[in-house]
């Protein structure tokens, strides 16, 4: 809303690159693990992980920078993995 358009574009580019790097790494892991659909698996996993990170950062900002993104991280990751 009041954000600088250039900053928004740069952050979008950052997260696009982050997701792309995750996809590449996860695709290699899926191929090594013998997945029948390594590209699809990697895309889905990367999307979930980026969404999780974005949600944590958004919650941090909405809380006035009081609720750390790492708050209860172990428990959240366990839930995500199940």
Task: Please give the tally of structural domains in the chain.
Answer: 1
Q: How confident is the model at residue 82 (pLDDT cuts 50, 70, 90)?
A: confident
Quote the domain boundaries for residue 74. Answer: 5-81
Mean pLDDT of the chain: 94
For every residue of the chain, which 3-state class applies, written as one string? CCCCHHHHHHHHHHHHHHHHHHHHHHHHHHHHCCCCCHHHHHHHHHHHHHHHHHHHHHHHHHCCCCCCCCCCHHHHHHHHHC
Nearest to 72 by CA among 51, 61, 56: 56
Q: Per-residue pLDDT tens for 37-68?
A: 999 999 999 999 999 999 999 999 999 999 99
């Amino acid at each position: 809303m009041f954000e600088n358009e250039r900053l928004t574009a740069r952050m979008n580019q950052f997260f696009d690159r982050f997701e792309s790097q995750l996809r590449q790494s996860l695709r290699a892991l899926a191929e090594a693990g013998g997945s029948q659909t390594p590209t699809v698996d990697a895309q889905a996993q990367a999307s979930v992980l980026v969404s999780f990170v974005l949600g944590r950062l958004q919650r941090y900002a909405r809380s006035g920078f009081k609720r750390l993104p790492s708050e209860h991280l172990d428990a959240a990751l366990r839930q995500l993995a199940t």
